[in-house]
Each structure stands twice: as structure tokens, then as C-alpha cells.
Structure 1
Amino acid sequence: MPEIDLQQVMREIHDSAEKHRRENPEIEAEMQRQREYFNPATRREQEPRVAEFELYLKQADISHDTARLAPGTRFPFFKRLLLRLMRPFSAPQVEFNALLVRLLNHSFKFIQDQENAIRSLRQEPEKVVELVRALGDLQLEDKRTAAVRKLTEVYESSEDPDVRAVAESHRRLHTSGSVPVGFDYLLFEDRFRGPESEIKKRQTRYVPYFEHHHPVLDIACGRGEFLELMRENGIPGSGVELNPQMVSRCREKGLDVVEKGMFEYLDGVPDQSVGGIFAAQLIEHLDHEALLRLMAAAFMKLQPGGLLVLETVNPASLFVFAHSLYLDPTHRRPYHPQALDFLCRNFGFTRVSIEFLSPVEEEWKIPPVEAPGAARFNASLDRLNSLLYGWQDFAVIAHK
């Protein structure tokens, strides 16, 4: 058997490895990049498993600084000699293994970070959708408070502590029942709309309409005057109101009122389940798009033959512009009686009629001239009085 020259074998292996590395410079470049990137002096905090690997090498006695063999090993002299001869070549391999472990650890951490980022991104669209929906709701007067609450919830999850602090302050305001706009609408109603007893007296005219159209839903029921009339006349009725102070006033009276925005509430009402819908002094708070949405929802929720009654200010009277219309800062715009009549018919309502309410006191009107031949002049005065001092309110009564 010919003698094996181990030194010659090792040199051939070494030369072959060097030739392969020269022919493939990207291997050497990558190894050098990994050595620089995973320098223990600067990257130790990102290599939680490197120390464990080095400890493993030491405990297993396979570090390139040792040439120990397990007890009972056959031909220990030759094997130890072989290990020592291979030390110049095994040392780079051990170093490469350590670099590989570092790279795997770094890759594992990178993958975890990416997975966490992906999970976070998956949640972001939901927050954006909520934010956009809330911003859209800000355009509707009856949903402003709900929209602010939704925005508060979105901002409470922000990573910015200052944003969370602002959100928390808004949360406390809402929890206490206050809206940070400095406007007490219940106090405003009590002062400018009139006493509840007076409003009940005015709304008594609507009671006969609902005797055979119930249950009745009073939208934006305010202080609950109409619901009191329903209860006093044995007509089942409930209300929806966004203002928490108004809701508290209604509940003090024992009325069935839900604190919600009208569209949010109507979305949960089954179709064709309501006998009558009543809304007094509401639609002037809505823009055109919101009014159309209300009309469509009312038609869907009413039973066949159901009744819709909408009371609002009358822009055909110029007196309204100088008094009630702009007195309330939450009013958006008035709706002409003929336009409202058209909208009701356009949405499918039949037997639509208009009733004019709240006449201006006679002392405001221009008196006629009592003189021979003044009839034509007085006729003109009547038309002028009608334009200047016409009915202040009107109601549209529409059957489905």
C-alpha cells in the first residue's frame, strides 16, 4: 500500500479552494461583507445566539484551538495528527460556520420584523377607512359628535404620545357628556324655540295623522314634546336623538329614546316596520345630500300606507330669514315647500300635501289704504305682505 502524503493532500485541497475563490470573487466579497457586518464589537446586541454557538464549540471540543479526542478513540495519534494538520483549513470553516449562524440569526430577526410590519400594515387600512368615514360624517350635522368620537378612537391608538394625550382629553369630554364646541343646544332651545308646553300645543295638530299609523318614530326628537303627545293619546312611539342632554331630558320623562345619529339608527331598523315617521325642525339642519338620504331611508322603513310628516321653516317668507333661520347657528339651509313636495313624489310617496303654520302677527304687516280707488293698490300690498310676512313654518304630509 503506497504511503499517503497528507501534507501534499492538504496543499492540493488548499490550492483547489483558493483557485475556486479566485474564479468566483463574489464568494470572497460576500464572506468579507459578512465579516464586516457581523463584527462582534458592533453587532453583538443583534446576535443573541452567537454566544451559544461559541459555547457549543468549546463544550464539544471542536474549536480550532484544540485537538482533543473523545476517550476510547481508535488510532488517536494519527487522528490527532490529522486534526492538527487540518487546523489551517478547519479554522476558516469554523469561522464560516459562526458567520453562517450569525447570518441566520439576523435573517430570522429580519423576517420577524417584516412579519410584524405586515401585520401592522394590515391594520392600517382599517384605521384609514374609519378615519375617512369619520371625516365624511363630519359633513352631516347629526353625525358630528359621533364622528369626533370615532376620530378619538382612531387617534388613541397612535404611537405619538402627544396625539394620544389629545385623544384622551376628548374622550373625557365625551364621557362627561360635553362637546368641546362651547354651544349648549338644550339651553338654546329653551330660550329661543319656546317652552315645552308651547311646542306641545303647536304639535297637537299632528296627533290625528298618526292615530292609524304606528308605531311612530320621532327623528331628532329633541326635548320629547311630540313623544309626550303620542303617549298621552295611547299611540306607540319612540325617538332617536344625538344630543346627550336632550336624551337625558327625554328619559327623565320616561320616554323611549335612543342616543344615536339618525342614519346610524335607521340602518338598524327593519324595512317596512314603522307606521309613521315625524321630524320637526330637522331638515333645515341637513344639506341636500343628507336630505335625500333621509327621504330614501324613510320610504324604505315605512310600512305600505305609512305616513311621513316633516316640519320645517318656510323660506317663501322673508320674515324667516330675518328671524328664525339665521338665529340658529346650526341651520344649514331652508327647503322650499314646492321643492319638498317634489322630492316626496320623486321618492314614491303619494297623496302629498303642504300645510302652512305659524303666522306672523298682524301688527307686523302693512295695513291697507282706506281710500276710493285703492283696491288695486291694496291687492299689491297683500302680495307684498305675503312675501314679507308669510307663514313662518310649513309641514309636508306624505303617504307611502
Structure 2
Amino acid sequence: MESLDLYARIEPLIGFYEEYDLLYQRYLKLLQPLHVKSILDIGCGRGRFLELLRDEAYEACGIERSASMLKTAQNIGVEVSQKELYEFPKNSFDVAVAIGDVLNYMKKEELREFFLHVKDILKDGGYFIADVNTKEGFEIADGVMLNTLENEVLCIEASFEEEVLKTHIEYFCKDISGYTRESGDILQFFHPKSFFKKLDGFSVIKSYYHSMFSSANEKEIMVFQKR
């Protein structure tokens, strides 16, 4: 099983729904003064932010690579697909967002290409809003988490070294024949704000720290404008 779909399986055991709803509310507040209409949610997951955008009368759609999360999003009635950015016509959206570490899953060379595609799908003067984990946020994630339920056991071991967070997942689920085991690894990469300031085609016009699980500045939300 691909790591994305494995993560989709274990997400209910991890929880953090309230913490992410607070992050989504932060994004909604950032959108309000921009007076925009069309929005693309990149890596939209289960579609929760698309639901909130729909409630606020935005014209929004999302893209998601995990087949499991895609199905969940489709079941709640939001517009979502497995399209790649380059499949959208140029100048399609007022805003694109990437919420919840999406950028941290890419290496620097991948990010440069990603931002070129984002630039293409945005209208002139359009905005891209995204959050990244700070170094402090990665250091907090370093460690082991064990969650045991009646028929499920989840163990997550994360190690942050040389600006890379490697997360190993072990998931056990009990059925009539015993326990089945699934495992996978996820890599995330630290990127300083100075890297994003040097990207072609965008200016970082605002940035904000955001705390998810502690008083630390675990995330930095950046507002980019296409130039």
C-alpha cells in the first residue's frame, strides 16, 4: 500500500481534527481581505477545507493523489479529482492553497517545478497560500507515538536529522484470522523562508506563525503573490 493511502487509513487514530479546523479557520481569515472567488485546494485530503469554502460561497475545487482520501472527499459532495497541476488551463484560479505540510513532502528541486505550475494556473496578480513546518515544528515531531484500540494498534516513530523528518508507520488491524500488518515510511523536508523568497515568479507578501499542538511556532503560513 502506498504511504499516502496508509496515512489515510491511520488518520482517524491520530485525530488532530480540531487542530486542523483551527488552521482552516486561519486560512479563511486570510482569504477574506483578498476579495477572490475561484480557489484550488492542492492536496485537499478528505475535503474538509473545500466544505468550508463551499459554505462561504467560494468557487472551489481540489486535487488529491491518495485514492482513499479522494473517495472520502467525493462522498461529501465537494469537487475533487486526481488531476495534476499542469492539466489545468493557464490563468484558471484567483487563489491556490496547500494546507498541512504539503510543501514539506517535496525536495527543493521538486518545489521549484511545483511553483512554476502554480504560477501557470493562477491569474495575473493571483495568490498562493501555504504552510510549512518550521525547524521547531520538526523537532517537536521527533519521537514515538503508540495508540492502541480494541482491534487496532498504531506505532509511529519519527526522527529528524539533517533537515529531514523520516516517519516510520506500523499499523496492525485485527480481523477473524488474527492481525494484519501494514507499514510505510514518509519523508518530509525542512525548507527555510529564505528559500521561498528566492523563487521565480512570486513574492512573499505576508507570513504568520501558527501553533498546532503546543505554544511553539510549529508552522509558518506564507502568502505569495504572482508577479
Q: TM-score range by the shorter chain?
A: 0.7 to 0.9
1:253 corresponds to 2:76: yes
Asked if the contact 1:313–1:320 (Cα under 8 Å) also holds between the matched residues in 2, the reply is: no
- TM-score, L = length of structure 1: 0.43
CA gap 1:267/1:327 in 2 versus in 1, 3 angstroms = same
Could you give the per-residue CA deviations for residues 197-230 of structure 1, whole angstroms, max 9, x where no partner exists? 5422321111133342231000111111211110
Could you give the per-residue CA deviations for residues 332-378 of structure 1, whole angstroms, max 9, x where no partner exists? 312122322x13xx32223522211116636xxxxxxxxxxxxxxxx
Report the identity percentage.
20
Higher alpha-carbon Rg: 1
Q: CA RMSD in A?
A: 2.5
Partner in structure 2 of residue 334 of structure 1:
190
TM-superposed CA distance for 1:183, in Å, is: 6.0
Partner in structure 2 of residue 349 of structure 1:
202
Which one has more relative contact order, counting CA pairs under 8 Å at least 6 apart? 2
SS at match of 2:49: helix
1:233 corresponds to 2:56: yes
Residue correspondence of structure 1 range 174-185 to structure 2 within 5 A? 179=1, 184-185=6-7
Partner in structure 1 of residue 219 of structure 2:
393
Partner in structure 1 of residue 22 of structure 2:
201
Residue correspondence of structure 1 range 189-338 to structure 2 within 5 A? 189-192=11-14, 194-195=16-17, 197-211=18-32, 212-260=35-83, 265-280=84-99, 281-317=101-137, 319-322=139-142, 325-327=165-167, 329-338=185-194
Asked if the contact 2:90–2:122 (Cα under 8 Å) also holds between the matched residues in 1, the reply is: yes
Tell me the distance in 2 between the aligned counterparts of 1:207 and 1:291: 24
SS at match of 1:213: coil
Opposite residue 222 of structure 1, the aligned amino acid is G
Asked if the contact 1:356–1:393 (Cα under 8 Å) also holds between the matched residues in 2, the reply is: yes
TM-superposed CA distance for 1:191, in Å, is: 2.5
Could you give the per-residue CA deviations for residues 111-143 of structure 1, whole angstroms, max 9, x where no partner exists? xxxxxxxxxxxxxxxxxxxxxxxxxxxxxxxxx
Report how many residues are paired: 187
| Higher helix content, 1 or 2 | 1
Could you give the per-residue CA deviations for residues 308-332 of structure 1, whole angstroms, max 9, x where no partner exists? 0111211145633525744463223
Tell me the distance in 2 between the aligned counterparts of 1:288 and 1:271: 23
CA gap 1:194/1:187 in 2 versus in 1, 3 angstroms = farther
Tell me the distance in 1 between the aligned counterparts of 2:119 and 2:208: 20
SS at match of 1:184: helix
Partner in structure 2 of residue 361 of structure 1:
214
Asked if the contact 1:210–1:307 (Cα under 8 Å) also holds between the matched residues in 2, the reply is: no
Residue correspondence of structure 1 range 121-136 to structure 2 within 5 A? none
CA gap 1:193/1:296 in 2 versus in 1, 3 angstroms = farther
SS at match of 2:186: coil
